[in-house]
C-alpha cells in the first residue's frame, strides 16, 4: 500500500514554513512516506463570489450556529483540494498534516503502524492531539497507542490518514458546506462514516508556539462571547444526540450504500 503525505501550509504564514518543511522530513524519516508541501487556500484572498460559491445553507442537522470565518472556509477548501488531488494519483491513501503540528518520533511511529494496517477498512483515521471521550469501540493497539472508533467523533484536523475511496466520498458530500471541515467530518450521521482515532498519536498542536491560529479571530465582547457559548452548548448537545442515533457503523468504515 502506498501513502502520500500532504503538509498543508498557508504561504503567507512565513513563521510556519520551517516547521512545515520539518514535518515533511519527519514523515519521511519516521514513516518512510514521500510527500509535498501543499499550498493551503487563503480564505482572506477569496472573492465574495468564491466564498458564496463554496457555502450552503443548513446542509444537515443540526444547523451550525456560527458564521464561517474566511480562514475556516479556506481550510475546508484546502482539504477538498487534497481529496480531489488524491483521485488523480495512484496512491492508496494520504496522510494530511497541518503546518502547526509537531511530531514525537516514538509515538508517531506506533500510530503510523496502526493506521497503515487499518486505513483501507476504516477509511478515515485521526491522529488526535487529545484522548477520545465517552464510549468507543476498540479496534487495535500498538504499545500505548490505541485505535478506537468513538461514538462521538473528535474534532481537529491537525493530522489524519484518509483512504482514496473515503476522500472521494467526502468530496462528493461536501460540494457545498456550512461548517468547518472538522465539524463536517464529525457529522457521521450525515456522511455515513464514523471517523477512527489514534491516541496517543505522536501529534501535537503547536500553533501558539509558532504564530497563533491562522483561523481564529481576536477577543469578542462579553455578551457576544456568552451568546456564543450558549449556542455552542446547544450544538454540542445535538451532536451528542445524533451521534447516539447515527446509522454509521460503530466499528468504523463507510455505511453500505453511502
Beta bridge partner(s), residue 86: none
CA 101, chain centre distance (Å): 12
Ranges of residues in the chain whose predicted pLDDT is under 50: none
188-191, Cβ contacts within 8 angstroms, sequence gap of 24 or more: 188/153, 188/243, 188/246, 188/248, 189/60, 189/61, 189/242, 189/243, 189/245, 189/246, 189/247, 189/248, 190/59, 190/60, 190/61, 191/248, 191/258
Compute the distance between CA of residue 239 and CA of residue 126 in angstroms, rounded to an integer. Answer: 18
pLDDT, residue 218, reads: 60
pLDDT, residue 196, reads: 97
Q: Collapse the DSSP code of 6 into the 3-class scheme (helix H, G, I; strand E, B; otherwise coil) and give the result.
A: strand
- What Rg do the C-alpha atoms of the chain give, in angstroms? 17
Compute the distance between CA of residue 43 and CA of residue 74 in angstroms, rounded to an integer. Answer: 4
Which sign, positive or negative, has the C-alpha torsion 178, 183, 185, 191? negative
Q: Quick check: 188 and 243 in contact, CB under 8 A?
A: yes
Compute the distance between CA of residue 89 and CA of residue 6 in angstroms, rounded to an integer. Answer: 13
Pick from 217, 208, 211, 180: which is nearest to 13 by CA?
Answer: 211
Domains by residue range for the chain, with CATH: 3-245 (3.90.550)
Beta bridge partner(s), residue 55: 177
Compute the distance between CA of residue 141 and CA of residue 197 in angstroms, rounded to an integer. Answer: 11
Cell of 130: 487529545
pLDDT, residue 217, reads: 56
Amino acid at each position: 500500500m502506498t501513502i502520500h503525505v500532504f503538509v498543508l501550509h498557508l504561504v503567507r504564514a512565513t513563521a510556519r514554513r520551517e516547521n512545515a518543511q520539518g514535518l515533511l522530513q519527519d514523515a519521511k524519516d519516521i514513516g518512510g512516506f514521500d510527500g509535498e508541501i501543499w499550498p493551503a487556500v487563503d480564505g482572506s484572498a477569496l472573492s465574495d463570489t468564491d466564498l458564496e460559491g463554496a457555502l450552503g445553507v443548513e446542509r444537515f442537522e443540526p444547523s451550525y450556529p456560527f458564521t464561517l470565518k474566511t480562514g475556516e472556509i479556506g481550510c475546508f477548501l484546502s482539504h477538498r483540494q487534497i481529496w480531489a488531488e488524491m483521485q488523480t494519483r495512484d496512491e492508496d491513501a494520504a496522510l494530511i498534516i497541518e503546518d502547526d503540528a509537531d511530531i514525537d518520533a516514538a509515538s508517531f511511529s506506533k500510530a503510523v503502524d496502526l493506521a497503515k494496517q487499518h486505513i483501507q477498512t476504516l477509511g478515515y483515521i485521526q491522529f488526535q492531539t487529545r484522548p477520545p471521550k465517552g464510549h468507543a469501540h476498540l479496534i487495535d493497539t500498538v504499545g500505548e497507542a490505541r485505535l478506537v472508533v468513538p461514538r462521538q467523533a473528535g474534532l481537529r484536523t491537525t493530522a489524519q490518514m484518509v483512504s482514496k475511496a473515503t476522500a472521494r466520498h467526502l468530496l462528493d458530500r461536501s460540494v457545498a458546506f456550512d461548517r468547518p471541515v472538522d465539524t463536517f467530518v464529525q457529522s457521521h450521521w450525515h456522511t455515513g462514516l464514523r471517523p477512527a482515532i489514534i491516541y496517543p498519536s505522536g501529534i501535537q498542536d503547536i500553533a501558539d508556539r509558532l504564530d497563533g491560529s491562522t483561523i481564529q479571530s481576536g477577543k469578542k465582547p462579553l455578551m457576544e462571547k456568552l451568546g456564543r457559548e450558549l449556542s455552542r452548548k446547544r450544538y454540542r448537545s445535538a451532536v451528542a444526540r445524533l451521534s447516539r442515533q447515527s446509522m454509521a457503523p460503530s466499528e468504523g468504515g463507510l455505511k453500505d450504500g453511502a
